[in-house]
Structure 1
């Protein structure tokens, strides 16, 4: 066994136990930043084994990684927690791949981000069997006789344990005396069979992919291929693509002219006849998403995969059509946002309306960046979109939107008698303080929802789940 393989197995085994207790069997509060710190301790250990010097100046992704991890300490929004897990995992994988030099493409380029799939998903799965191979190699290096004995004992244990477990359960069900003996043994030695089985199963699930990831870091040595990054794959014929795009642009123009009054009424604060505010906002959003997706796909085909044969005339034509599609999509997004704002003005803010509005704003910025890239080739499109997305995503977390929404809706309830109590049902424990203010006015209608908040606050008993929001909510409930 190589020394680095042995050390890596020990490190991953320790990390597996800690990650299992902190996250899998713990909670998604303060445990998350602790788990991130443990992961980077393992990474530094791995770097030391491989004699790779980590450069803090190029480790810029540690800033959003730290800020995302701390979101679990300060806030308790369930949806944002789920998105934070995905975002954090992606950042950590990309950061690690950059530090170990296994990401083949330019930092923060489009194809650099695409490496998340082969490195963060496929590599751990492909190398899951490596711990077994390492142990096998070690056994071959030892004497053959002792090798066979150890190997056969391990096989016997693996086969025998589940058979003995099933047989014991069956015998306990058929014989009271035997059941009493087994129960006495477990009580005497304080065995919790489910506790043991649970940890064995989760240890296996975590250990093998985690070791596979670390094994890949040690053995994958592909270097950056900047030339490959710059090569443009052009697979679509120019005339065919332009013909399709032309037809689509004509249809869009006819659609805009026929629906002009409908589109711009939201800008004037006017609700069209036969529409409710909710239906108007929903229609705007669901018009925007499919058409926007089609347009972005066509823009990618035009700019990345269409054969221009270095013709300036063809290049200018592609720029013109790209600008048209960007402008039309931008118009749809802004129109959808104006409809949503009209809806919010009439009925207050809910968490879903905030998410939709945030998504539309990010869409607007992305389209503007695509427009800039069309006429300024040196503009780093992917890098700038990533930076804006990261800032806005962290801003969505750190703005504590649940509390802001709750305050706004509580004020709307008190001053304008708009019934916004149902909006609190979707909010996290950050909304408890404004909800208590409403309950001072209307105890009957808020009684059930406050009870729901109480169950949520007192239901989190594990220290791994601790965060500032739940701590403050508990204080508010105790001081009522």
Structure 2
């Protein structure tokens, strides 16, 4: 490989310094309240800033007076950062956490003369939003493209094993934040899985895996955003501008007029899916033992099976939604390979969908047990319906993986319309009342105050329940509360449910 040009060396050092800044940031702030760390972080940021814009302080489109104002804005930045060292006022600590970044953004934009408007005009806010949000997002591919220039090219004769290793490493990097979130949710949802994760963490001599992963992710995010922010100050063109570096996940267009599509390398995507599916298979194994009642012997000491079985449904639903986000790129965003590679991709996606369906069944069962213990409410019934809806969508996706001619969008839209109509016409409030009354027959417990806050759809069921259990003197007041909550209505507001409720 030929030696990089001087400008490439500078940008490479920028990225290295940004990574060091991210590591420095997480070291100062994770698990520690803000103090002198704020002043040190600001000093580190400005060290990277002045190195990045060295030779560019004049900007490309100078505006008279910007330079003086830019240097003067360093004063409030320094004084605000210093307050965390000198004082301990909680109110101003929160307010300064907003004011300090705003001053830094204003100062860095003004000093590098990247604004189209004077800093004291209201329109300057447009420049701030563009530099804080728009440009960093537009430049996200740049650091990955820069890293790509460090790697051996295909022409270097090292693209075989080394190239595969790089792609696998990229898949592991993509899987790391997803696994951190998923493992955290699954551990929160299932005490057995949580105990197994804790035992694995104990192998590392007391090092907390969750804390370590969190620190790595925070350092990565801070480094990536800081570098892209600096890049946005150096290059003023908008998102459509060509960058010196391309994203490693992006294919080149076949022709100049062809639209570029983002495609993930199959080895990278396969690595990610293998990592995620490995966790899911372990979790699903536990769920099968739970569903068939064999998990009682696996529970940690002091955990009751009944309490274990009816918790965690919310976390499992969130994991299912995360898997939806993984499924669509898996179907449409992976670059096609040979017949064997395609079969492997479809098998991994099938395993992902199958594990998700098992998780939804587990979540559904857990919520049913929770309702038996604590009663039926609108939110719980709606979550039940949403889980059934998600399960149907994943079954459709299972067919789509192997039948590529199947239109998922058509099937999903049709399913959504039908599901919404079903939820409207199943008379949820009446269903809630009936099931709570059946629960009363088994447990002797019922929340009549809650039923009194529902709609008039519950009144017929309450009257039947009153006739069956006249000893429950609170039922008439619940009926009156339901009927009275609607107030008086004129004939245009006539409603069959209210008419039946008000009819004695």
| TM-score strictly above 0.5 | no
Structure with the greater relative contact order (CA < 8 A, sep ≥ 6): 1 or 2?
A: 1
Q: Give TM class, smaller chain.
A: 0.3 to 0.5
- Normalised to the residue count of structure 2, the TM-score between the two structures is 0.43
- Normalised to the residue count of structure 1, the TM-score between the two structures is 0.45
Name whichever structure is richer in helix by fraction: 1
